[in-house]
Structure 1
Amino acid sequence: MYQFNEMELAIIEEAEKVAVDFLKPKAAEYDENRSFCKESLEELGQLGFMGVHLPEEYGGLGLSGPAVSRVVEAVASACASTCSALTAHFLATDSILIGGTEEQKQALLPKSAAGELLGAFALTEPAAGSNPVDMRTRAVKEGDGWRLTGTKHYITNAKEADFIVLYAKTDVNAGARGISAFVIEKGTQGVEFSSPEKTMGLRGSTIYEVSVDCWLPDSALLGKEGKGFHTAMGVLDRGRIEIASMSLGIARAAYQATLGWSTERNVGDKKLAEYQGIEWILAEMYTQLEAARLLTLKAAKARDDQDRFSLESAVAKFYAAEAAGFITDKALQLHGGYGFIQDLPIERYVRDARILRIFEGTSEVQKIIIARTVLHNFSQQ
């Protein structure tokens, strides 16, 4: 198991505390009202958690990958909507960290880490989800800048964000090498947002369709032209570990609620947990949760130690997201009819967990990444 240093343990403890004291009491309200989790993000920003993943030189906390994972897990265990908005912010700021110029990093990252700026990551399109190379959004040179046209879909934080990192094709004939990234500041003319999507879960983390027909100066190009695909893939490797951590948080909350329920609920003359069939289910839930945690920590450690960690992040994201689906479903099953009503958070856990098998590449995409990487490594032996 990964050993955290004293500073990391203190930060993780603080994350668990704010999750219980501040985030958890607001989770049901965000879900029921479909209201953006603004207050929770502001609280996280004041405590420095908006930059928990960033180096200290850019205003972040400089935590290790495993420590970042534990913070994300803590937030998700209390309010998955807040965690979704937080990790979407991470995608945007990781884009700048990986692909931006030093000037762009200094201009955006310290304020983002302090919670003064909120970011959004715009890669997915209606006809280009799992394969970004199919994107249709275009960026064409126009004067001393760029004309961007196109539509992005399912963009978390988009309307609330102070900046959007948007990916577009600057060379339609160059495949992946023809993709570049741009920073669009809030209030830019020619950027329009749909109404918030009415999602099944994560209802306090709003997502939008974003249409652009705007002009941006050359300074808005993130890093170098043609490097957008490389940046996006690096960001998604990190993001998949965060989705695995988010999966752990939701699954942990559902499992702990089920332990409490099964040891308090009487069925006949025995506690629910005293029935062997229930014990088996609890054992399966625990085993999947522990396996997911170990795979996630392994991937988070690989993020610190390796230039490429696509295999580890895909394995962690695939297993943890599937485990969260299994654990939340069993939690509802063991709660019976009580799990199906909104008086308890169990049905929210089920709804919130479902998207995790789709976020940052579906489970099917993760299996493709895993298989192709394993086969490639085998062929090199």
Structure 2
Amino acid sequence: MTDYGPRPVDRRLPTEEARDLLALVRDLLDREIKPVAAEQEEAGRFPRETFALLSESGLLSLPYAEEFGGGDQPYEVYLQVLEELAAARLTVGLGVSVHTLACHALAEFGTKEQRAAHLPAMLGGGLLGAYCLSEPASGSDAASLTTRAVRDGDTWTLEGTKAWITHGGVADFYTVLARTGDKGARGITAFLVPGDAEGLTAAAPERKMGMKGSPTAQLHFDGVRVPDARRIGDEGQGFTIALSALDSGRLGIAACAIGIAQAALDEALEYTASRQQFGRPIADFQGLRFMIADMATQIEAGRSLYLAAARLKDAGLPFSKEAAMAKLFCTDAAMRVTTDAVQLLGGYGYTLDFPAERYMREAKVLQIVEGTNQIQRMVVARHLAGPETR
């Protein structure tokens, strides 16, 4: 597999500090993650020690305020680090994105006292988070969730089941959206639930076609008691908090998708340059060269799109439409690029001896998580044409 080396992404980093950060990340990936990625994925091994190392290195806290142990980096920089992590191993890159998503509610909507009490450990204390919105019967229609939280004085009792939870069963804390009022979006509230809370159990991990090293599981809340001090935001504000987190999370998925696509292109370039047919490298043949050009163009376009959305976020401007566009385009591009990479490797692309087949399997899930790409099209269309009429 080729070394990633300096790519055009370097020129997009706004400061010398950011360029040094990316160099350190690449060094860490070369030493600790890339050499064991394929073996650990095939074995379905969750790299908890890797996340501990990332926490120790400050890479689980990049976009959050330094006041609470964060890296104080703009999203423009954080996402490019995330792209590198995903290119090395999607289980790690997506895991960092999910952890960042899980911290978002408290960081943006928690009280100063809540942030001071919990964020330092969440951001740099070796903890790992998960985000609990989806349910067995509530996916794209997130406002129909049924997990319920009932208040008794200063304590809430949670009952219900969450589904498709990345890090389910291994996370140290969960940001949970639960119903506290009537049906609909305005009856949902957010809670910060410890991973070892009594009554909280995880089902066996789902058996997935890709990302086998990343546990995805249902979580069962059976009388889980949570103090009101762990309620995030106001009662009934949970759906607003959830949507805010998802806008940022979609940019994380977009960056991960471009990382996977870049890794697949790198693999295809190395293979086509070394594979000889008819007395010359197959990279000399026009049909294959055009495929490579199209792959690179999609990657560069996707990278530009997610960075443009990140700059809007960093400037404090609305970016929901752009985040949906980036998630949609980048994940579709990753699926096309990884499929073409398998084709360029021919029979070898279909074997476990090369990572191209793993990239293709992993790219598929990115079109589904954080809102399917059909949902992203609905989000974009609403921004352009207004709400649907009934």
Normalised TM-score (structure 2) = 0.94
Question: Which residue of 203, 207, 227 corresponds with 1:198?
Answer: 207
| Aligned residue number for residue 302 of structure 2 | 292
Match of 2:78 among 42, 62, 68: 68
CA distance in 2, matches of 1:83, 1:2: 20
1:118-175 Cα distance to aligned partner (Å, 9 max, x none):
11110011111112111011111123311111110010112111111110010024x2
Q: Which residue of 2 aligns with 1:334?
A: 344
Distance 2:135 2:318 in 1: 26
CA distance in 1 between counterparts of 2:161 and 2:47 reads 25
Alignment of 1:177 with 2:169, yes or no, is: no
Cα distance, 1:310–1:60 mapped onto 2, change above 3 Å: same
User: Which of these residues, 215, 222, 232, is aligned with residue 225 of structure 2?
Assistant: 215
Q: Deviations over 1:276-330 (max 9, x none)?
A: 1001101110110110010010011111113421011001110000000000000
Which residue of 2 is the match for residue 37 of structure 1?
47
- Asked if residue 155 in structure 1 is aligned to residue 165 in structure 2, the reply is yes
Contact persistence 2:265–2:295 (CA under 8 A): yes
Match of 1:142 among 148, 152, 157: 152
**5+ residue gaps, structure 1:** none
Q: 2:148 and 2:199 mapped to 1: Cα distance?
A: 14
Q: Deviations over 1:72-110 (max 9, x none)?
A: 001001011111221111111112112222122112221
Preserved CA contact (<8 Å) 1:76 1:246: yes
| Alignment correspondent of 1:235 | 245
Task: Check if 1:165 corresponds to 2:175.
Answer: yes
Give deviations 1:49-94, integer Å, cap 9, x for gaps. 0101211111111111110111000100101111122111111111
Query: Is the aligned partner of 1:105 residue 2:115?
Result: yes
**Corresponding residue number in structure 2 for 1:348:** 358
Amino acid at match of 1:210: L
The 8 Å contact of residues 102 and 129 in structure 2, kept in 1 or not, is answered as yes
Runs of 4+ deviating beyond 3 Å: none
In the other structure, the counterpart of 1:19 is 29
Q: Which residue of 2 aligns with 1:78?
A: 88
Which position in structure 2 is the counterpart of 1:119? 129
1:2, distance to aligned residue in structure 2 (A):
4.3
Give the RMSD, CA atoms, in angstroms: 1.3
Deviates further, 237-246 or 151-160: 151-160
Residue 321 in structure 1 maps to residue 334 in structure 2: no
Q: Does 1:133 align with 2:166?
A: no
User: TM-score normalized by structure 1?
Assistant: 0.96
Contact persistence 1:51–1:60 (CA under 8 A) = yes
Code of the aligned partner of 2:263: A
Tell me, yes or no, if the aligned pair for 1:99 and 1:227 is still in contact at 8 Å.
no
User: Deviations 1:207-248 (Å, cap 9, x if unpaired)?
Assistant: 110010222221121122111111111100000000000001
Kindly provide the amino acid, as one letter, of the partner of residue 129 in structure 2.
Answer: G
What CA distance in whole angstroms lies between the structure 1 residues aligned with 2:112 and 2:206? 35
Question: Out of 376, 384, 389, which is 1:374 matched to?
Answer: 384
Q: Provide the secondary structure at the position in 2 that maps to 1:87.
A: helix
Q: CA deviation at 1:376?
A: 3.6
Q: Residues of 2 paired with 1:113 and 1:345: CA distance?
A: 31
Q: How far, CA to CA, are the matches of 2:125 and 2:210 in structure 1? A: 25
* Separation in structure 2 between the aligned mates of residue 15 and residue 115 of structure 1, nearest angstrom: 19
- Give the fraction of aligned pairs with identical amino acids, expressed as a percent: 37
Asked if the contact 2:101–2:245 (Cα under 8 Å) also holds between the matched residues in 1, the reply is yes
State the distance in 2 between where 1:187 and 1:102 align: 24
Is the contact made by 1:48 and 1:115 (CA closer than 8 Å) also made in structure 2? no
Matched, 1:96 2:106: yes
Q: 2:51–2:126: 8 Å Cα contact kept in structure 1? A: no
Q: How far apart are the structure 1 equivalents of 2:12 and 2:357?
A: 33
Q: 1:115 to 1:336 in 2, by over 3 A?
A: farther
Does structure 1 conserve the Cα–Cα contact (< 8 Å) formed by 2:324 and 2:379? yes
Q: Which residue of 2 aligns with 1:277?
A: 287
Residue identity opposite 1:5 in structure 2: T
2:256 partner amino acid = M
| 2:276 equivalent to 1:266 | yes
What is the rounded CA distance, in whole Å, between the counterparts of 1:65 and 1:154 in structure 2?
A: 26
Letter in 1 for 2:249: G
- Asked if the contact 1:236–1:360 (Cα under 8 Å) also holds between the matched residues in 2, the reply is yes
Distance 1:38 1:215 in 2: 27
Question: Size of the alignment, in residue pairs?
Answer: 376
Question: Cα distance 1:355–1:229, how it changes in 2: closer, same or farther (>3 A)?
Answer: same
Query: C-alpha displacement at 1:115, in angstroms?
Result: 4.2
Distance 2:122 2:225 in 1: 24
Decide whether the 8 Å contact of 2:56 with 2:126 is kept in 1. no
